[in-house]
Amino acid sequence: MHTTRTLSITAATLVLAASVVVGGASTAQAAPTVYKNCDAVHKVYSGGIAKKAVTKNKVTSGGKTTYRALKGTVKKDDALYNANKKMDADADGIACEKS
């Protein structure tokens, strides 16, 4: 009787441990959205997508650089920015910004 009970407890422990491992794998985050173009981005985030550290829009015109406030709804998310980095024409850390 003691051997059967010990085997049952061991089997239950193994099942519980396996479910914890499987459960951990299901909590993975979804990949960030890759937008087709800036029009698609502006439908969701009117001001574009920025790196978390960006606080101002860097604008260079006629060889002169100025900094302006961010306009519209800007989503600050490093993973989302990296997925859409190709749309950051001036490489200032904001994709599809409005200047």
| Confidence (pLDDT) at 22 | 46
**Residue 25: inside a domain:** no
What are the DSSP E strand ranges found in the chain?
A: 48-50, 56-61, 64-69, 74-76, 94-95
| Confidence (pLDDT) at 98 | 86
What are the residue ranges in the chain where pLDDT is below 70? Answer: 1-28
**Residue 72: inside a domain:** yes
**Residue 48: inside a domain:** yes
**Residue 23: inside a domain:** no
**Residue 45: inside a domain:** yes
**Residue 66: inside a domain:** yes
Taking the C-alpha atoms of residue 16 and residue 24, their distance in angstroms, rounded to an integer, is 12
**Residue 81: inside a domain:** yes
- Write out the residue range of the structural domain in which residue 74 sits: 34-95
C-alpha to C-alpha distances, 98 to 35, 76, 83, nearest whole angstrom = 17, 14, 19
**Residue 3: inside a domain:** no
Helix, coil or strand: residue 66: strand
Q: How many domains does the structure of the chain reveal? A: 1
